[in-house]
Structure 1
Amino acid sequence: MKKFFTIIGGMGTMATESYIHLLNKRTPAHADQEYLNYILVNHATVPDRTAYILDHSQPSPLPSLLEDIRQQNQLGPAFFTLPCNTAHYFYDDLQAAADVPLLHMPRETVKEIIRKFPNAKRIGITGTQGTITDKVYEHEVLAAGLTPVLPTDEIEAETMALIYDNIKEKDHVDPVLYHRILRQMIDEQGADIVILGCTELSLAQEREPETQIPLVDGQSVLVDRTLELALKMREA
């Protein structure tokens, strides 16, 4: 296979499935042959990213992710995507190991905010405790000259319950909990816009859409950037 890219997924599997679904849905295809060429590495047994970020005595996901990158290098993809926000904690190591570009979802998400919401200054960040702790979105927001707005401990506890207890464990989205988290980021924390900084939250948005609050979904942005690069590659 030529002119393809590789998706390093499985973190978690249902979130990766949501990314693939959106990617295929947005591809302008009218025949089988018009869809994109890609390889999905659904590495479901990669150790938990948040557990390691919070406690380095826990198993590190990095060796597994590096193994995936190095194996795929041998096949010659044009680029990599990583549809897991928390895994971007390891971005520099993964990009260093990759022979081709690895899309940076948080960075692309902040670029999208600047394009779509030029007047937004206070940027709410939601995600796993690992994503909040490693500041991957916070750094990108600050680098853009904007103000990051973080969840309180209570909001973060609710977010972790939604991600882990509802979605990862039960494949269920609690709509009341999901919408309350977003509303609190606007009403209580004073954010102008909220980043969905976890692909499980992207899955929640897909199933129980929030239409009243200004959002930027990191996974949706990654889908659009993936599609943009893949179509250019195919036409080259």
Structure 2
Amino acid sequence: MAMPPATVLIADDHPLFRAALADLIRRTPEFELVGAVEALDPALSLLAERPCDLALLDLRMPGMTDLSVLSALRAKHPDTKLALISGNLDSEAVSGGLKNGIVGFLPKSFDPPVILAAIRLILSGAIYVPHELAALASEPESSPSAASSDEPSTLTEREREILTMMVAGASHKEIARSLGLAEITIKLHAQRIVKKLGVRNRAAAIAKAVRDQLVDPTI
């Protein structure tokens, strides 16, 4: 006897991505789309009417004010697996999401076959987090004082290496190629560098590195 299709709910406020993901689910016979909505509140309404096997929730959408809402959602619908989808590659969101009950994190940049493979893994009972995000999410967090911009020594050896190449003018793609890493990994390291240096973006991190002589670009 054939297994019934797994039911999937999508909540994402980006209309093009939501429509594309909904179409992908509809065209996959082993899945059934329960609904595709633009915010957390209508998602909650749908779940109240019909609990589903998996809810794919946008990290940045109306109603998703804090990752703690995931714990409440998990408590109310314990049989529904929760996974975050996001265009923001944020290892802290992965860590926070896992602590609040998610069992998956899917970057929106993934190709459709990878998204489907990840969903299948989640529905099979596994926790799915991309390797690059999992590695960074599992790193121990520095204390606030240690992570301040006055303590550049908190940069790891790899982060210093990447910052040096950034100062030398290399793009994320060029750094990834040089180090034999995925570009997404370099982007995630760059995010952590920006945070540790207490600046707003990559350009400011480079400027601070040059001003404070944090790296030697001639190496």
Settle same-fold status: TM greater than 0.5: no
Structure with greater helix share of residues: 1
Q: Which range, TM-score by smaller chain?
A: 0.3 to 0.5
Give TM-score scaled by structure 1 length.
0.35
Give TM-score scaled by structure 2 length.
0.37
Which structure is richer in relative contact order (CA contacts within 8 A, separation 6 or more)?
1
Say which one has the larger Rg: 2
